[in-house]
């Protein structure tokens, strides 16, 4: 058995420190698929559906065509869309605006990857076949509190507002800022990923995963001590 890479070790340690029920998902955007990794067996109705497959232990890559099921997600990932899909995106945005779910003025500001889409590699972080661009972590409020505190201790704390719809925007937002972010997800994401009503996300830039995990070990110990202190005073 090959030794674990640094990224894999950090992914395993992250799960251990937080006691996560679902393993963090590593996502890497590459021009070509890495050796030994197969393309996803079937395209999904939304890009975030692939997070669920990776959480279940699968390691695979997707091509641009695999992201056309959800044109909002295709937009945030900078997937080139054929004319009929571009029209579908405009229709979807119009529906969301008509429902009062989204304001048209918000659309130009939606985070979007800058680079052209080649392939996306998905894997549990502890099994990632290549260094990830981002690591997606889902869990309860207390777990994400600890992770957010660790990101701040590592110097990449989220400085803006908590993110929301569309959930996939957390990926380009983290890539562009080089900082972690917190997201409440969106209703589509909760359907496609099975995200619980009591769960939310923290996204970590892959290049800083080791720094965050190192800080997390300290943050977890500190919170344990502080909890004992506060409970003694209660």
- Taking a C-beta distance cutoff of 8 angstroms, is the pair 11, 23 a contact? yes
Is residue 78 scored above 70 in pLDDT?
A: yes
> Which DSSP letter does residue 131 get?
-
Domain boundaries, given as residue ranges, for the chain: 6-233
Distance CA 163, CA 55 (A): 21
Distance CA 77, CA 112 (A): 6
Distance CA 207, CA 196 (A): 28
Average pLDDT of the chain, as a whole number:
93
> Which DSSP letter does residue 42 get?
S
Instruction: Note the pLDDT tens digit of each residue in 123-181.
Output: 999 999 999 999 999 999 999 999 999 999 999 998 888 888 899 999 999 999 999 99
Residue 1: per-residue pLDDT: 46
Global pTM value: 0.93
Residue 161: per-residue pLDDT: 83
């Amino acid at each position: 058995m090959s030794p674990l890479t640094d990224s894999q070790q950090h992914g395993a340690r992250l799960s251990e420190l937080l006691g996560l029920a679902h393993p963090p998902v590593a996502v890497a955007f590459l021009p070509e698929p890495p050796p030994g990794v197969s393309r996803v067996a079937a395209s999904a109705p939304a890009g975030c559906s692939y997070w669920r497959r990776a959480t279940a232990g699968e390691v695979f890559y997707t091509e641009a065509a695999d992201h056309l099921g959800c044109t909002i997600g295709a937009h945030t990932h900078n997937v080139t869309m054929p004319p009929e899909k571009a029209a579908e995106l405009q229709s979807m945005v119009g529906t969301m605006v008509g429902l009062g779910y989204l304001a048209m003025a918000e659309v130009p500001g939606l985070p979007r990857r800058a680079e052209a889409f080649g392939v996306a590699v998905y894997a549990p972080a502890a099994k990632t076949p290549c260094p990830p661009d981002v690591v997606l972590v889902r869990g309860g409020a207390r777990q994400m509190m600890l992770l957010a505190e660790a990101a701040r201790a590592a110097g990449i704390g989220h400085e803006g507002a908590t993110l929301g719809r569309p959930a996939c925007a957390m990926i380009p937002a983290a890539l562009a800022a080089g900082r972690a972010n917190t997201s409440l997800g969106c209703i589509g994401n909760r359907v496609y990923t099975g995200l619980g009503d009591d769960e939310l996300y923290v996204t970590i830039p892959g290049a800083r995963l080791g720094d965050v995990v190192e800080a997390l070990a300290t943050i977890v110990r500190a919170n344990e001590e502080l909890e004992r202190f506060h409970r003694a005073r209660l």
